[in-house]
Amino acid sequence: MEEPGSIRPGGRTARVRAAVLRAAGDILAERGFAHLDLTDVARRAEVGKTTVYRRWGTVTGLVADLLTDMADQSLPRARTGSLEGDLRANARLVQRTLADPRQGNLFRAVIAAATCEPRTTEALHRFYDTRVREWAPCVEEAIDRGELPAGTDAEEVVRAVSAPLYYRLLAAGGPLDEATADQAANAAVAAARAGAFVR
Amino acid sequence: MEEPGSIRPGGRTARVRAAVLRAAGDILAERGFAHLDLTDVARRAEVGKTTVYRRWGTVTGLVADLLTDMADQSLPRARTGSLEGDLRANARLVQRTLADPRQGNLFRAVIAAATCEPRTTEALHRFYDTRVREWAPCVEEAIDRGELPAGTDAEEVVRAVSAPLYYRLLAAGGPLDEATADQAANAAVAAARAGAFVR
DNA sequence: CTCTTAATGGAACTATGGACCCGTTATGGA
DNA sequence: TCCATAACGGGTCCATAGTTCCATTAAGAG
């Protein structure tokens, strides 16, 4: 019996997983990582406490599974035709997500959880790898068009757009509005044009 | 009896606080935020359990106090004479701090704790405000020298240097070496020169 | 449809984080 | 130096997170 749910993943098992992940997300968004315990999750999900402990074991383990679930729901990138437009669209998408009360708190909680366990950290990294790879092509295309220096690290440019937004969310604080998003996108474009991301 | 330690802060009380904060920092660095409980802190600090619960009450409250203690120990900024030099020095300082096993884990844990409670969040913001204000003058001077456009938000430039490093530490992962630090500094300078941080 | 068994979940148990009581210590002002 | 009391800390109690056991349910193969 390795990995409960791997042999009979259909029907009830899938319903239980969905209910548990949903409850976990709710609690994380409302109360934060520190107040998450599996007993509470089981109660909210209307699922047996034993089931939750058996399948996920620890809080960080549950968050890791939540992250792989989140990674599966990736949105397609924008295609505005220009580098500025695409990156600004990305910045605003990230900004709206982080500024949304539920989503923002969820991300903060998930990142906090990733702080505590390598397994969860890896799940988080995979999540961002997915997102970055989804958006990197718009930078690649700009390089092909000659808008950016050859050898520019496309993925690094995409990360540079998100970084200031996450920095505000997690560390330094400050407003997370559309102006912040646009500034992040503009700064990334300007730095990329100047060759700051050439490998 | 508001705020235990506010009326007789000397002698034993100060020693207890130092021992507790030291123990808390050790545990956070070694095991992370999730495994921090006040009973354990009291044991390590060789201090009465009751004392810890009375003075700090919760894990996040203790971390908040730890943060104000950390904010008091600010390093003076570098003065290399050039904007690039100063910001690169700042980037490398941050990078060395975050890459150091103990310090890096401590920062991750402290930020995770700040995720869970407004009081702690505010303490964290104050911590970064202190740091940013310490370094902002080197950008101001560059503006005065005409190296950067008038109206450039100096503090925002400083934040732009740290952001990519924290983004790696907390969210996306990836190497945190000197090359990363220099890239962050270069990108911030390039963006600032292009006017991306003009208010 | 039937049967095997994967997976769930109720219930009882244990370990421990956190709260409280009250006696002890030592700070800091007179 | 002395004293009022701020602050500490040992001991005890309680709520509950997490574990274990076993009966019940239903997935999915034939």
State how far Cα A148 lies from the chain centre.
27
d(CA B39, CA A142): 56
Query: In angstroms, rounded to a whole number, what is the distance separating the alpha carbons of residues A133 and A72?
Result: 14
Burial of B150 (0-12, 13-18, 19+ CB in 10 A): exposed
Dihedral (Cα; A133, A110, A122, B28), 10-degree rounding: 140
DSSP 8-state assignment for residue B78? P
- Chain A, 63 to 92: residues with Cβ < 8 Å from chain B are none
Tally of residues, chain B: 199
- Evaluate whether B188 touches A167 at the Cβ level (below 8 Å): no
B34–A33 C-beta distance less than 8 A:
yes
Q: B101 — contact with chain A (CB < 8 Å)?
A: no
| DSSP-derived 3-state class of residue A49 | helix
CA atoms within 13 A on the CB side of B150: 0
Q: How far does the CA of A46 sit from the C1' of C5, in Å?
A: 24
> Which nucleotide has its C1' atom closest to residue A57's CA?
D18
How far is A90 from A78, CA to CA, in rounded Å? 7
Helix (H) or strand (E) holding A136: helix A118-144
pLDDT per residue of chain A (199 residues) written in tens, 0 to 9: 467 877 877 789 999 999 999 999 999 999 999 999 999 999 999 999 999 999 999 999 999 999 999 988 878 999 999 999 999 999 999 999 999 999 999 999 999 999 999 999 999 999 999 999 999 999 999 999 999 999 999 999 999 999 999 999 999 999 999 999 999 999 999 999 999 999 8
